[in-house]
A and B are shown apart, each in its own frame.
Chain A
Amino acid sequence: MLLGLLLTTASYGQTAVKGKVTDVQGSGIAGASIRSHKSVKFFTSANDGSFSIEINFADDTLEFAAVGYLPQKVEVGTIDLSDLTVSLELDTRLIDEVEVVNTGYYSLPKERLTGSFEHIGEKELQRSASPTILGRLEGMVNGLQFDRSGQSRENVNGFSFRIRGLSTIESDRVPLIVWDGFPFEGRLEDINPENVQSVTVLKDAAASSIWGARAGNGVIVITSKSGAREQVALNYVGNTTVMNVPDLFYNPNRLEAPVVMDMQKSMFLKGRYQEQDQIQLPEYVELLIQHRDGLIDETEFARQQELLKGRDFRREATEHLYRKQVGQQHNVTISGGGKMSKFFLSGFYQDEAATVVGNDSRNLGFTANNQFNLFKGNEVSVNINYTSQRARENGLTFNELSNAVGGADIYSTLVLENSDFATVPRYGVRQTVIENAEALGLMDWSYSPLMDRALLDNQSNRNALLLQFGVKQQLLPNWSIQLRYQYGNNRAESQDVYDVDSYYVRDFRNRYMDPVTKQSPIPNGSIFQMDPVQKTTQGRVRLQSDFNKDFQWDGGLNLLVGAELSRSEQWMEPGSIVYNYDKELWTGNASLDFSKLYALWGGGMARIPSPVVSRRASSGRDVSYYGNMSYTHHKKYVVSGSLRWDGSNLFGVKANQKGTPLWSIGAAWTVSDERFFPKLDNGYLKIRATYGVAGNMDRSQSSYPTISYIVNSITNRTSASLGHPGNPLLRWEQVRMVNLGMDWQTGRLSGSIEPYWKKSSDLLGNVLMDPTTGTAIFSNYKMNYADMGTRGVDIKLAADVLKGSVDWTVSVLYSHVTNRVDNFVDNTIVNSDYYLATGRIPREGSSLDALYALPWHGLSPENGLPIIFVEGEPSSDYTSFYQGFDPLALLDAGVTVAPNFLHLQNQLQFKGFSLGGIIGMRWGHVFRRSSMYPGAELAYPGAEYHRDYTRRWQAPGDEQHTIVPASVEALNVNLLNTFKYSSALVEKADVIRLQQINVSYDVPTSWSSKAGVKRLSAFANLNNVGILWRANNERIDPDFPNADYPAPFQFTLGLRLQL
């Protein structure tokens, strides 16, 4: 950012010095500073390193320095002044660290920064094969924590993440993502990781006060590749990824067929099953009924019973519903530039056949990043980015088929012994009805998963376009101005075609079949359904002015001010449903009578569902004013400050609440440049501190009541529904942060230690208000109810263990972070169930991630049920115990997010061969596991099983070695919960995991050039390799405590070449 300008002054008695400042290879260094000690003058070298200056004293000393180089002093008196060449040596301290950090608003050399930044370069990003850029950061950024405990059922590929813990309880806690200078609100999949040059993570107050209210949780700045001058390169990267089939046998919440059948038989004999047309019964129960009613004889019953006992639906599903996930990706880029321009063009294609048979996706993308220098001091950039994704979800999952709605049991099957497709029970219809369908005048009501899957036709499309235009102009040597504009346009839509033979249509027609007339208003044809289309457009404008000045007294000032406006519009266009749809001709009928009440086959009356006709639009407007300042003195002392005001078009708030100010101050001291610092090999020591205040606004809250107008689809009358009752005491959240840091290097070791403290106040949350106020029905009602303190430390240690023909670097990233809720507005209405069942309810003095549990006293030797005390006395009244348990007496059983996490990276380089890996460790946290809850198997529908059934208490004495209670005759929810939420089921979540292994080989240029290729390399990545050690003895993966199975192993093989 420093301009090369020659400053000359004319005065008498001058000595002229001419020459060039170069590096050890002889290339000129632009913008090197030249200070004359005695004359107290200050100059800079030109773009080619040459200088021509005049000094007052012939015996002066000149000091030459440049960013990234070691300074050098030259005595004027002793040398040839007409052609002085000064060669500066590279400053090898922290040479592997980035020299210039990009915050998205500006770039500064690392020396001039006081805040906490992490930088990940292209090479490191390529070591991971994760499809999203964020996934590639796992294990590489100190303080960035990935949390998968929220992944449930079969959604195992997602994750949430935190930077330095939490700052808020209920407001948006996702860190801000900035892409090429503007906040990014699209999907992460729209950013092609191969097009990313670098990622900078901003972690502290100085960093987030640059980006404003949304950056209280940290900022991830993504910079795209932009080409290089005076060269052209063509690159291709292709890879193929294979992921294992999910392990359906991992889930402990299943029991084998013989055991389940025994339970169902025992329930049947006690008359627990209602035999009604609208309630589906398990297949085995239907068999028992047939046997009881004499419809089948003994031998047939025994034969079918044996058949069921031998089945396992998990095996069936694994064979027919899942497959190995295979994906391939191709990236082609052309980058280069001339003297006055550079460009980067890229196209990519990716397709993936997911682990669920029938689900697949295809992505296409195009990027063009161009930069021109139209005239001196000018820089124009035009960037275009477009991605298009098409996905099909025509698969069935195990979870879908076997949950309460699905109805399949563990002994169900997908394919019969004679290879015909089998049927499974489905919600709301009894097998006897299905068998008599024709006689009753109904359509075939059976559900055959494999047959139906072949008829599924769902498709969804997404398009995202991003255009950026920027102009930067140097107005004066120290002053530049820039104007940037970004336009984004997203569209997402999805549609389904339900075939006339599909279960959906047959079931639909049957439900609306009039029992008397045997007519159904639903036509006997396919149905086309288009979901509401979602469109988003956004525009952003930024005007910024940068001022940089280097002073004579060896000081440097960087100052910038700017303003930004942004506007975003979101629409949801109405969907449509077309009945009697002809798949060939695309004709159909949409004019059914949607207001008439039709008689339903199952009794009652209902209207035909009409498509969503409302058109929703929402607009967001944001305004920001910001300023940043940083002053460096003697290149050793830095002082920085920033101030920002963010406003938003919040609704229903008082005028002075439409915005929030943020500010920060910081200081840094490069101690190793001081004279008193001992001379060490590559010695470096810098200490820094920042303090900042940031605010957070919540769009869903308002001080005044708000209503929304709606039109009733049946009466056509307009009315207004109350959206928010209004909270006149509403205040915005505030976060204060203190961050200290020490960066050091000596010899081959380097590292940093960064302790930090955050204090969040006036946090908004949905505290339970007295329902008498009438606000209990507003689930979005929040009050300022708590403060929270977060504190932690990030420690980094890196070592170049070997350097030479074999390079071996090791780095350890360790973080410790905890949070605690303070000043929680007391609430006496909340009962223990709220803390135990819902989670994330704050309690004063505890962490927000706390897991609460009931105390456990073992099982009773008499009946094998949990021992409880009510008012100090042993009791068996589980209802009074559970309902009356004082929330303050709940045990704080630990935290669900690891307070300690460590990543160990090893990277070996030998000739062209590179091998490395990351091991991740998390400890200090817990998770709640499931078990066989007493009476859970008796619920119908919704029976729950667990392999712990075999460990249950069965006879006195068993309480010595088991915690699983005896089975009961009747389901008592309070007894069930007493065991479910007890501390006995809380397990340690400590784990050591081999997260990633990367291997690559760069073919020597002598070989590759024979093929006409400049660079050729092959690489392989392994992800989710496996758990090396876990603390719990239940074979549960602690990183996926709530999911049906952990993310499967993934293997990627690829090729990279440059022409």
Chain B
Amino acid sequence: MTLGIVVGTVVSSSKDEQIQGARYLLIDKCNQQGEKKGDYLVALDIVGVGPNEMVMISEGSTARETMVTKNKPIDALVVGIIDIIDENDIIVYKK
């Protein structure tokens, strides 16, 4: 999975009709310390993420492997909100 920070949202009224009511988040990819890379993507949110939270994103066809996204045309999905990351027994990120 890829780490990223939720920096905003992307709103579209004329979208492929299969995903009504889904929330698209603007994600800036980051490292395990939470430093942003300026590398943006749009990911579907089904876990209810707030702004500036660090999340895990699953990209590619695996993004379709949930109840909500089955057979839907998406390739980036927020699969979890990060609480803590430790690296060599040192906490490098805490929510």
Are A and B genuine complex partners?
no
B residues with a Cβ closer than 8 A to A are: none
